[in-house]
Each structure stands twice: as structure tokens, then as C-alpha cells.
Amino acid sequence: MSRRIDPGVHPGSPSRPACPMNVLERLDRAPRLAPEEAQILESVRALARNEIAPRADGYDRSGEFPWENIRALNRLGMNAMFVPEAWGGAPMSFTAYLACLREISKACASTGGIWATNFHFTKPLLEFGTDEQKRRFLPAIVGGGLGSLTITEPGAGSDATAMRTEFREEGEEIVVTGEKCFITNGAHADLYLLFGKWRGIADGRRAISVLVLEKGTPGLAVTREEEKLGLRASSTAALALDGCRVPRANLVGAPGDGLKILLASLNRSRPGIAAHALGIARAAFEDAVGYINERRQSGRRIIEFQGVQFMVADLATELAVTEAWLWHVARLVDAGETDFGVEASMLKLRASDLAMRITTDAVQLFGGYGYCRGYRVERLMRDAKITQIWEGTNQVHRQFIGRSFVKR
């Protein structure tokens, strides 16, 4: 984890003169990181500039899984960030995780989503798994394996309690039957944190349980990989679970503990979605500001028109305020707070809406060029849309935030 990569020149979009962004540069220094964490973040930034960003467009066009990017992250040992030393890791703060995720997502949103999903898999296992389960499964993640948080079903999206996947106990085994869809890393995961309902518990919410399903388990099949609008290099798969037999030792917690585990998982994954969205937003903002400082209309640079300056001012202000809230939520988590669900929903909601707004306005500022491939704002706009949908649609988050103010 201490390996340092020398910073290089950003290859990104067509070269443009550097533009002053002192406010955002100061904001980048806002996360409170330990010296080793700051060193890792600089290594990630260099890796993102020099290796991940130059490959992003090619992976978007081909739709191929970005193995080169994943291998590059594994060379830095990035998965070790999630895991305590007792199981082979080199743990770092939640703030450091979000900072790294934002930089990776800024370079390639698909790669950022893939890497973040390893955290989404690991954190619930750390909180609720047994020492034996951690000993068995966590070293695989530290070594570069891929995890998957496996929740969504055709009839159970934002309302995960409607899931129908069944866990049936047979002696020392659990038989799993059902289907899942829209599963990130689904076609390539080594380990799945799988949610379903325990047969014999009548209450649907109390029946939700969770276990670790291992790659290669008989009865587990990838039935489809989605062709998506954005995040095209990230595997989003449908899975069939046809009588998969899983050792009872793979059950995380007790039967019926799944809803508690699920809610705890989402409260920590939603800030990750926000960091992912803000990485996309920052990339689009920087590209747009660079372009309008260079492009001329009617003998003037586009940035010199007052209407454009007002647009940039609004976007920069929203970006600064939302990123400040990202670091606020990160500090809550690092301080050991457990009741931050509303703050996490506010963050996910605001960051994802802002990512869609900034990328859309960036395309507008690029004019016809922004609508064509060749400038990455077109890709960033497509990548941004999913952040308003997954980990709970923004309509659901607004409802949750509003309900929190109802007096009881």
C-alpha cells in the first residue's frame, strides 16, 4: 500500500491551457488524511492520470471489462484499504476511501464503480461476519479478487424487501433458488454477498438473510450482461440461482438478520455513490472550463460572455458545497457515528443530481462537439445518469429525507 507512483502529465481530452481553479484545488486539500493516506491518494491520482484515463474511452467503446485498470489498482494493493491487518489488509479511513474513489471515477467511471463494489462487499462482512468467515474470504479480496453486493431482483429494486430469492435450510447446507439482476461485477465476481429470504420465517422483512456465495458454485449462472447507456465497461449482470448449495457456515449473522445488514450496508455505500458521481462531475467541469477558455465565438472567448460566467459560477458553487458535504459525512463515519442515514441520503441525492446537471451543461458548453464522441463530456453525461438511479432512486431518497422530519 505504500508504493508511490510518480505523477505524470494528464493525457485526457485534447490538450488545453491550464485554467485557474483555486477554490477547487483548496477543496481537494480538505480531506483530513494521515500521511500514508495522502501518499496513497497521490499515487492513485498519478495512476488515474497516466494509465486509467487514457484507456477509458476505449473501454467505453468496446464495452469490455477493464481488466488492465483493475490489475493496475491491484498492483497498488488498493483492496487492502478495506481490510484489517489481522486478515492481511492495510486499513485506511473512510475519508481516504472516498477520496481515492472520486479520483478513480474521475478518470474512468466504470473502473470506479467496479472498485467501489469491493468495498460494498467487504464492509458488511467485516461488521457482521464471524472471524472464521473473515479468515476464509477477506484474503481473496486483499489479493485482488472481485466482490459483489447481490441484492436487486426483477421485482425488487429500490424496495429490496420485495425480493423473492429463497434460502432453504437442509442440514448443514442452505439451498438457494431465485434470480438477481443489475448486479455490478456479476459476471466476474469471486465472491457474492447474496441477499434472500429464509424459508420458514413468515414476515417478509424479517425473513431477509444474507450469505456468501462463491464463484463456481453449481447452479450459479450468469444469464445476461446488460448493454448499458453508460458505465459500459462495468459488468452489470443477471444471475440465475438454481438450487445452489452453500455451506451453512457461509451464513452471515443469523436467519433474519439480513435487513439490518442491508440497511447498514447502504448507509456506507451511498457516500461511495456520491464520491463516484462527484468524480464524474469534476471531470466534466474541468473539461468545460478548459474548453470555454479556449473556444472563441464572435471574436471573444466563450468564458467572457456573462451568461456563461453565471452558469460556471453556479456549477462551481454547487460542486464546492456538495464536496464539502461529502467530507462532512466521511468525518461522521470515521468518528464512529452510526445514525447518519439521512445525511448519506442527502449526499447521494445532491451529488448525483449535480453530476447529471454538470455533465449536461458541459455538453451544452461544448456545443455540437459535446454531442459527438471525441470529447469525453459525451461519455461523462451517459455515465452520470445511473448515479441518480442505483442505491435507491433519488425519488426514494427525497421521500426518506422528508419523512425524517415528521414528528412522532
Q: Which single residue is written with the C-alpha cell 449535480?
A: 354
281 class by beta-carbon count within 10 Å (0-12 exposed, 13-18 middle, 19+ buried): buried
The answer to whether residue 1 sits within a structural domain is no
Type of residue at 53: A
Same domain flag for 156 and 127: no
Same domain flag for 154 and 212: yes
Residue that is last in its domain, among 256, 285, 317: 256
Output the pLDDT for position 55.
Answer: 98
Q: Residue 371 sits in a domain of what CATH number?
A: 1.20.140.10
Question: pLDDT tens, 240-249?
Answer: 999 999 999 9
Residue that is last in its domain, among 256, 291, 312: 256
Output the pLDDT for position 194.
Answer: 98
Output the pLDDT for position 304.
Answer: 96
Output the pLDDT for position 21.
Answer: 62
Same domain flag for 159 and 122: no
The answer to whether residue 5 sits within a structural domain is no
Same domain flag for 166 and 141: no
Output the pLDDT for position 8.
Answer: 32
Same domain flag for 292 and 399: yes
Same domain flag for 93 and 167: no
The answer to whether residue 9 sits within a structural domain is no
Q: Residue 66 sits in a domain of what CATH number?
A: 1.10.540.10
Domain that holds residue 227: 148-256
Q: Residue 206 sits in a domain of what CATH number?
A: 2.40.110.10
Output the pLDDT for position 161.
Answer: 86
Output the pLDDT for position 5.
Answer: 27
What is the number of domains present in the chain? 3
Task: Indicate which residue of 103, 153, 318, 391 is catalytic.
Answer: 391
Question: Which three-class secondary structure state does DSSP give residue 296?
Answer: strand
- Nearest-CA neighbor of 378 among 359, 357, 365? 359
Residue that is last in its domain, among 145, 179, 194: 145
Same domain flag for 210 and 240: yes
Q: Which single residue is written with the C-alpha cell 468524480?
A: 279
Sign of CA dihedral 54, 55, 58, 61: negative
Same domain flag for 394 and 266: yes
Is 51 one of the catalytic residues? Answer: no
- Nearest-CA neighbor of 112 among 238, 273, 230? 273
Distance CA 78, CA 122 (A): 13
The answer to whether residue 79 sits within a structural domain is yes
Residue ranges of the chain with per-residue pLDDT less than 70: 1-21
Same domain flag for 242 and 279: no
Output the pLDDT for position 399.
Answer: 97
Question: pLDDT tens, 344-356?
Answer: 999 999 999 999 9
The answer to whether residue 237 sits within a structural domain is yes
**Other CB atoms within 10 Å distance of the CB of residue 280:** 32
Residues 190/214, Cβ–Cβ less than 8 Å: yes
Distance CA 308, CA 316 (A): 12
- Nearest-CA neighbor of 255 among 196, 193, 295, 309? 196
Same domain flag for 303 and 217: no
Output the pLDDT for position 28.
Answer: 86
The answer to whether residue 168 sits within a structural domain is yes
The answer to whether residue 363 sits within a structural domain is yes
Type of residue at 312: V
Question: Which three-class secondary structure state does DSSP give residue 378?
Answer: helix
Residues 32/95, Cβ–Cβ less than 8 Å: yes
Same domain flag for 167 and 197: yes
Output the pLDDT for position 20.
Answer: 52
Distance CA 396, CA 399 (A): 5
Same domain flag for 271 and 344: yes
The answer to whether residue 13 sits within a structural domain is no
